Amino acid sequence: MAEHYKMMVWAAGGVAAGMVLLAAHSWRRLRGRREVYGPSKVVVVTGCDSGIGYNVALNTLEWGCSVVATCLDPDGEAPRRLSEAGAVVVKLDLRHLQQDAFKELLSALNSLKDDDKDLWCLVNNAGVMTYAHCEWQTKEMVTSQVEVNLLGLIQVTKVLLPTLRRNKGRVVMVSSPAGQVAVPNMTVYAATKWGVEGFSHALRRELTPQGGSVVLVRPCNLPANTGILALNAAHLKLMLAAAPPETREDFGVAMMEAEQVFREHFQGSDQLPLPLNDRLLACFRSAIMNQNPCLTYSAAPLPVILSLDLLQLLPYNWVDFLVAKNFYDFILSFARNK
């Protein structure tokens, strides 16, 4: 009887939470959409070699802002096109950051300031992912994800915070549904995105009293469009070669099969990306340009957003059961930001 009563309480709580979330998302649509004056603003976008960063930087130029695009390889095709479109392209490698790592970025911002263009927004987009069991991944793969997705993000934010704070500017963090619900094969990546979410919420509470703002954007289920998994097949081959005997014995076949799948489905996904869909671009435009933005944006359909929100409210053992039954994958199948 007690267990039955507990289940009824949780069910009633879930319904109530769903109604609150639905009301909250409906209210978001009623918020004002006045935008900042772009020509006087500078937006820094990290990770512009491909995918989201490239598209956000290109569109931010069209929205009237000056753009500083950071790239791992400034001589690549995407950075070249951004430069031709009017962006200032600088090299920035968020792995193994040295003391003078941000020298080129700060120099570019100082040059724009001389033209009466002030830093308004930092879009923390740079990210890498290795999709595999935590046990399979090499130390270098784990380190790279943590350095780029979390430590590098914090460091570049910290360097620009004094100017952003004084300008009452904004930080836009690119997160993921993996920062809401952690699932197998995304163990390390999810850890970094949970870190991004926590950092974002805490930083927002530091900056808001001083007139600044922090906004989270969660793209949803678009690995083929970003190139983030372009190297996963090669990574799996390296994992198999470096695996301890026990791991190779228990998972060797699964690792080889996974390598083949990624080789077939993500071959060439690191090429110049197609434009992002209108829904996702609208999220970024609101996050960057709106005078009064929402705290979070998701490009997923509303039922997917509500389902992910509710999963965060359920008991962990319930979530474990649903994830084991592929409910998470089922939800995200409706949210491909093609």
DSSP string, 198-219: HHHHHHHHHHGGGT-EEEEEE-
Position 90 scores a pLDDT of: 97
Task: Determine if the pTM surpasses 0.85.
Answer: yes
String of DSSP letters for 78-132: HHHHHHHHTPEEEE---SS--TTTTHHHHHHHHHHHHTT-EEEEEEE-------S
Same-domain status, 130 and 178: yes
Same-domain status, 50 and 140: yes
189 among known catalytic residues: yes
Find the helix packing angle between 232-242 and 139-146, rounded to 10°: 140
Same-domain status, 202 and 240: no
Q: In the chain, which stretches have pLDDT less than 50?
A: 26-27, 30
The C-alpha atoms of residue 106 and residue 112 are separated, in whole angstroms, by 10
Nearest Cα neighbor of 283 from 216, 210, 332, 228 is: 216
In a domain, 7, yes or no: no
In the set 189, 297, 316, 328, the catalytic residue is 189
Position 191 scores a pLDDT of: 98
Please give the tally of structural domains in the chain: 2
Same-domain status, 187 and 305: yes
Per-residue model confidence as pLDDT tens digits over 201-221: 999 999 999 999 999 999 986
Range of the structural domain that residue 254 is part of:
231-267
Position 277 scores a pLDDT of: 86
Cβ-contact 117, 66 below 8 angstroms: yes
Position 30 scores a pLDDT of: 46
Same-domain status, 220 and 238: no
In a domain, 31, yes or no: no
Position 5 scores a pLDDT of: 59
The C-alpha atoms of residue 288 and residue 290 are separated, in whole angstroms, by 6
Which amino acid does the sequence have at 139?
A: K
Spell out where the chain has E strands: 41-45, 66-71, 88-91, 118-124, 170-174, 213-218, 296-298
Q: Is 56 helix (H, G, I), strand (E, B) or coil?
A: helix
Give the CATH number of the domain where residue 102 resides. Answer: 3.40.50.720
